[in-house]
Structure 1
Amino acid sequence: MLRSYRDDFIKKCRSNDRYCTLVLYCREKDAAAVSDMVLFGVSLVVAGKGGEDRKQKNAAALIEELEHKRSIAAELKLLRLENDSYRSVNILKELIQSEDGALSEATHDFKAKEFNGKCVTLILILASEPALSGAENRLMKMLLKFKYAEFFCLNISADRELLFAVSDKIPYERNLRAFGEKMRRGIRLELGCDSTVLISIPSQNGVDLISAYKKFDMLEESRFFLKEGDVLVDRVAYTQKSSADENVETILMQVYEDIRFREFRKAAEGVKRTVKRIEQEGSMSNIYVRHIFIEILSRLSQNSDVMTTNENMEAAKYILTVPDIWSIEESVVALLEKAEKGKKNSYANDSTIVIDKVIAIIRSEYKNTSLTMEYIAQKVFLSPNYLSAMFRRVKGESINSFIKNYRLERAKELLKNSNIKVKDIASLVGFASDGYFATVFRKAEGISAIEYREQNSKRY
């Protein structure tokens, strides 16, 4: 199927004398196919210049050169957008903008963006599994990824002709024609050049978005869109020009922080403020609003055990299908309140386990001068602020104070039971300098370390 699409596409584009860029997304197990398709996509740009002999020579040279860069090509599996989008972008840029060999043939065109009016960009998406059914759903899935478009140096024609093959189940030719008119209205996306892509969103099929969200892990990465007039515009640009003191974006950032630090009651209040602000602005698209709550749901599932995986999926489907925003608000607030109650019920047990781990880390690594609260928080997978509050609540002192006192106890043992020099003891128990150790010791004991040794060594 992959080869059939590729050959058909190459044939059509070359017969029309068009430059082309081909990008493929699919599952990690299909990484080899991804590499192959992207390499051919880049080769089309190179091979699309000059006579037929030169085209073939350029394409062959390109493939030969890239075969020597297997480590780079293998990393193209990141096009699946599982985690590190910036790394995948850099890989593509290295492939496209390389100054070496055959790739240099394409460099100028990509940098200068001087393609002619016949230029067509095709994004071919083959899901490799029947997670989504119907071409419109696949178009929506593509939308979720389109924030990466500008990074892939996409260009479209002067008359905004953009062709998509959006399904591996529906005949190729019919797909392109069926979406011909829809491409001219709907979402407005800037690609970092003078061209604008217009596509539509068939929101009635929104229930299937959850499959795309889950499959491509887009909850964290997707960019927000909202409706302004008759078109949807980039949420980031809208936020920058908003004159409101507290817009949806700023409220959401606080909600995300509250969830991260497990302040679920505060997060619930933030959700209510978000809904109120959405009503006041009155210009946000249905898909953007639902994306907000899917994002909140995702962060909640990452920071609490309030839901099982199946319950999380059901909640997400509910968000995508329920007809009004108030029902969504009610369900999300209820989940946050449930998480708050669960946090209180399990706090004692959870805290004891965490604090025991923290103390074990301190006891084993107190000699390390780089032992800090931030380091320990990373080891127990909690935020520094949250861990600090938990430790103080359970132990009655800060982590830094506990570390300092533990080091002092170890230092006193060495002062009493060894002849090690005081300055060496300071470094042995983790103090950064003997001067700081002397200051801390005198403040804690009321006497110097030397005096402490003189007074206590007589007993042994």
Structure 2
Amino acid sequence: MLTILIVDDEKLERNGIKFLLNRENEDFQILEAANGKDALGVLAANHVDILFSDVKMPYMNGLELTQQVRELYDDVEIVIFSGYNDFSYAREALRYGVVDYVLKPVDPAEFSKTLARVMENIRTRRERKEQQEQQADYLTKYFLIDYLYTGNTDNARKLEKLLETGDHILDRCVCMILAGAANGFFETEEEHFIGALKDQIQREFYYVNLNSNESLFLFTEKYTDYRGLADTIRQFFLKQFECDCYFAVSELFASWHDMPDVFKKLEKLLEEQFYQPGQHIFLSGADNDVATDASAEDSEIMEQIAHDIQYKDTAHLRQDFGRLEQKYRADKQFSQMYVKFVFSSILKEIYEQMAPSDEKALSKRVDRLYRCRKISDVLDIVSGAVEEFEKCAEEQQGGFRGEVTTVKNYIYHHYGEKEIGPEKLAALVYLSPGYLSAVFKEETGVTLNRFIREVRMNKAKELLENTNMKIAQIAKEVGFSNSSYFCRSFREFFGDSPESCRRGMTDEDALQKVQKP
């Protein structure tokens, strides 16, 4: 609804303008003032879109009012009313930014045309402002995402320039929650959940989509139970979209400048979803295993240890073995024979991977284990075998470069497949999804999801610059089922729209464009 202020010292004249406004097929809020001085008071207390003012009034005439309004409220559209004899005043008022004038007595048809022109000015200005704000937001996310992944100080400075223009939520953020999903959830449902989630959690947040399976939520409140908030978001996604997400919750940070280090910790933390599928929320700086150790069954831990050994995942092998070791060192209620059986099974798994043909060495180690008279000695024997396995796996570690190369080549040739992610790629090279993710990140410096997005976006850019394919076709070609999501992702990845990319605009051009007054 537009708000209109009518300023005229004659009440009859004001009523005439109100009558004409009410004839229009629009819904207006109409305010009145008897002179320029009163009008300034009304403007100070209300947002006004259009000012209709007579020229000659007591206390402060229309020209003086126009001058002050233009200095104080540069987005107000001003229309002057003047009699034929006062036409020179109207012409002078044009110097002060008056958009139009209407001669008295007012002709209804001319008034309607003038109002239409003014309303079109407002609509155009609002659209331009909305586009500029949208472009600034895309650029903000572009520079922020690059800074999160690379720590690039040049883009951090550009981000700082963007944030100088006003109060941006990023300047107030103190906590981030990294959300992970599957099957491209954040591509297919992003447009539907943002507004609904804000209504659900009733708090301010800044949303950054990282790729089709990962998104970041940034919050401003220092004194909040963020673990509880993450659980609320999880339940929302589960109930509304039947999607069970995983969440990594950061510790509080002082400034967005600290975000890259915080983000790296969250990425690593979120990888725990592959090893602890029953746990959905992981807290940075907390022992996320403590809650599961007490209730974890031996069979579950043993299954995970076998999984770790099979995929030479030494980091999680040490972690899972530590859970079992801690349990039996602290609890004396189990029989020695049962404990020996449990840990001899681990010995067998290790030796089958390290030296499958050396049955003699395995028999000797198992025999030693069963001769132990203390549980602590049993644990020490198996702990030593774990250390041997770690050294053996470390020596073979260079072999995983081949697996990483295979995965990269697959992505290069199958980027157009929608269902491409850690699970599918891990099966390709016979590694666990979690371990492939860790090895891939160590080898390439980026996560699998990030690498897939980079390949898709660079291919899309190549197609935009070198072909005449439609944007919707390109989106489908590089693995996006939703073309509007593709356009948003492209803007956030490159800093500008696919159309601008096709025209050859750079992120520097886009930055200068949004910073123009």
Structure-2-length-normalised TM-score:
0.36
Higher RCO (CA < 8 A, seq sep 6+): 2
Pair member with larger Rg: 2
Structure-1-length-normalised TM-score:
0.40
